[in-house]
Copies of this chain bind each other. A is one copy, B any other.
Amino acid sequence: MNPNQTKNDAITRQEDDFAQWYTDVCKKAELMDYSSVKGFIVYLPYGYAIWEEIQNYCNKKFKEKGAQNVYLPLVIPQSLFATEKEHVEGFAPECLVATIGGGQQLADPLIIRPTSEILFSELYRKRVNSYRDLPMKYNQWCSVVRWEKTTRPFLRGSEFLWQEGHCLFETEEQARDDAMTMLEVYDSIGYDLLAVPFVKGQKTEHEKFAGAVATYSIEALMPDGKALQSGTTHYLGTGFAKAADIQFLGRSQKRETPHQTSWGVSTRLLGAVIMVHGDDNGLVLPPRVAPIQTVIIPIRGDKVPAVMEECERIQKELTALGVRAKIDDSDHTPGWKFAEWEMKGVPLRIEVGPRDLENGLISLSKRYNGEKLTVGLSAVHEIPEVLEKIQAEMLEKAKNYLKAHIREAHSWEELKAILDEGGYAKMMWHEDEELEMKVKEYTNGGTARCLPFNEEPFGDTCPLDGKPADRVVYFAKAY
């Protein structure tokens, strides 16, 4: 008998309906709930705790790179928002606008921030005087609002949580370096924390951020073959600085315009973790990001005091070792508990039962591959190592999946076939916005995800129009 029976029924199988599976997991693992406003979700404790782990990791890394946390206003006056032309054209259609304050019509309506380039530029104008003030690297954790028609938990919402870094530099080189450095930091979130490998690269002109000179992104690959843009960094050039009239006294005593960057990751990263690792029994969390790393299940703990004592001893030992461990002493059956914590993706389960205990044994069960071990009680001190091994194996598995789903396309037909099957079509490329739109139509939604770094050209012409091509591009369908 499968002890997961009851719980499994609660989750649609991936192969039956992947989108429904995803929504089921988000809801049933209690990561989020819907609110009474369409597209605005509630981050429940279990989901929010994962976000807090990501925040802790990022805050440490950002600080190492010299960024400082700040908080800027929630609203941008409409008149101010209009100052950077491409930017406003990009964002205006999805703005939420406040028009009434304290019972009065506002003369200048207030846009709820969809992103804060404009506000940071306003701030920098006041704070930067000399090259000695540069670089200035500020970061903000907040929510932003973008009015969306179709929304999905963590992936696309009318409100989402993110961080936005905004930096100012003396030279173009420094700013371009920063955009690349922060992309590396974002990449490390995947490697160090989420066990999610990313493809890194530059966005095409067609796909770049509204107002940027260059946009870079990390892209994760989901098991349904679709890419998920998981973080972006932008070299903004001097456009926003000029629009906001930011100048500084340079080393040669002349007024100069600083170069700007911005960079952000959002709660989309939760979506990546859920999809990359999840299975038909629910969530599967990599240990480093799991709010509960080990769950301890007493078997007949209500009847046998020694069982509960041992569970408490183990929890204490694990806590001292820095492991986030929880005992489930609720009055549910062990089978129910197994299914519950499997659904919640806890990386490691420890079962403590009266019979095993007599022999000085406990059972370990790894969530990600179902492996079960019976070990001696003294093995508890090895659990941090076990968790690290799980983390490494989950990353390896995800890397293999990614590698297997990057395939060369040498014709329109191959491109379409790869995108239909799922994964990245790797192709020789030249900048051509019209061609990108043709691909989107022909492949029913395929977009240029990025021009990946460190990819050797494998030809010199574009297979789609025969024109000279010197860059490698990855196309995919995407969230």
- Asked whether, in the complex, the Cβ of B119 is within 8 Å of the Cβ of A35, the reply is yes
Minimal beta-carbon separation of A51 from chain B (angstroms): 8
What 1/0 mask marks residues of chain A from 154 to 175 whose CB sits below 8 Å from any chain B CB? 0000110100000000000000
- Distance in angstroms between the alpha carbons of A147 and B94 in the assembled complex: 24
Name the B residues within 8 Å of A404 (CB-CB): none
Minimal beta-carbon separation of A304 from chain B (angstroms): 24
Residue A95 interfacial (CB < 8 Å)? yes
Name the B residues within 8 Å of A43 (CB-CB): 70-72
Residue A36 interfacial (CB < 8 Å)? yes
Minimal beta-carbon separation of A331 from chain B (angstroms): 9
- Distance in angstroms between the alpha carbons of A194 and B71 in the assembled complex: 21
Residue A102 interfacial (CB < 8 Å)? yes
Given contacts A48-B70, A71-B48, A99-B98, whether A33 and B126 have CB atoms under 8 Å apart is: yes
Minimal beta-carbon separation of A70 from chain B (angstroms): 5
- Asked whether, in the complex, the Cβ of A99 is within 8 Å of the Cβ of B100, the reply is yes
- Distance in angstroms between the alpha carbons of A36 and B72 in the assembled complex: 11
Name the B residues within 8 Å of A98 (CB-CB): 96-99, 112
Closest to A138 in B: B45
- Distance in angstroms between the alpha carbons of A77 and B52 in the assembled complex: 28
Given contacts A42-B71, A70-B43, whether A37 and B77 have CB atoms under 8 Å apart is: yes
- Distance in angstroms between the alpha carbons of A452 and B80 in the assembled complex: 48
In chain A, positions 123-151 with a C-beta closer than 8 Å to chain B are: 123, 126-127, 138, 142-143, 145, 147-149
Partner of A74, one of B51, B138, B145: B145
- Distance in angstroms between the alpha carbons of A99 and B138 in the assembled complex: 31
- Asked whether, in the complex, the Cβ of A45 is within 8 Å of the Cβ of B68, the reply is yes
Given contacts A35-B122, A75-B40, whether A93 and B97 have CB atoms under 8 Å apart is: no
In chain A, positions 35-65 with a C-beta closer than 8 Å to chain B are: 35-37, 40-45, 48-49, 51-52
Given contacts A96-B110, A112-B98, whether A74 and B127 have CB atoms under 8 Å apart is: no
Residue A305 interfacial (CB < 8 Å)? no
Minimal beta-carbon separation of A105 from chain B (angstroms): 10
Q: Is the interface of A mostly helix, strand, loop or mixed?
A: mixed
Residue A73 interfacial (CB < 8 Å)? yes
Minimal beta-carbon separation of A274 from chain B (angstroms): 17
Closest to A46 in B: B68
Minimal beta-carbon separation of A328 from chain B (angstroms): 14
Residue A466 interfacial (CB < 8 Å)? no
Minimal beta-carbon separation of A91 from chain B (angstroms): 11
- Asked whether, in the complex, the Cβ of B42 is within 8 Å of the Cβ of A73, the reply is yes
Interface size class of A (residues with CB under 8 A): 35 or more
Minimal beta-carbon separation of A83 from chain B (angstroms): 11
Partner of A69, one of B52, B123, B138, B148: B52
Name the B residues within 8 Å of A112 (CB-CB): 74, 98, 112
- Asked whether, in the complex, the Cβ of B74 is within 8 Å of the Cβ of A122, the reply is no
- Distance in angstroms between the alpha carbons of A94 and B80 in the assembled complex: 24
Name the B residues within 8 Å of A93 (CB-CB): 102-103
Minimal beta-carbon separation of A42 from chain B (angstroms): 5
Name the B residues within 8 Å of A72 (CB-CB): 35, 42-43
What 1/0 mask marks residues of chain A from 77 to 97 whose CB sits below 8 Å from any chain B CB? 100100000000000111111
- Distance in angstroms between the alpha carbons of A69 and B49 in the assembled complex: 7
In chain A, positions 13-53 with a C-beta closer than 8 Å to chain B are: 33, 35-37, 40-45, 48-49, 51-52
Partner of A149, one of B80, B102, B148: B102
Minimal beta-carbon separation of A270 from chain B (angstroms): 12
Partner of A100, one of B44, B49, B96: B96
Minimal beta-carbon separation of A167 from chain B (angstroms): 13
- Distance in angstroms between the alpha carbons of A95 and B101 in the assembled complex: 6
Minimal beta-carbon separation of A129 from chain B (angstroms): 14
Name the B residues within 8 Å of A71 (CB-CB): 42-43, 48, 51, 143, 161
Minimal beta-carbon separation of A340 from chain B (angstroms): 14
Closest to A106 in B: B96
- Asked whether, in the complex, the Cβ of B73 is within 8 Å of the Cβ of A35, the reply is yes
Minimal beta-carbon separation of A222 from chain B (angstroms): 24
Tell me which of A72, A77, A98 has the highest count of chain B C-beta atoms within 10 A of its own C-beta: A98
With A52-B69, A96-B101 given, can you name 9 additional A-B contacts, CB distance below 8 Å? A37-B73, A42-B71, A43-B72, A74-B112, A95-B102, A96-B100, A98-B98, A101-B158, A142-B143
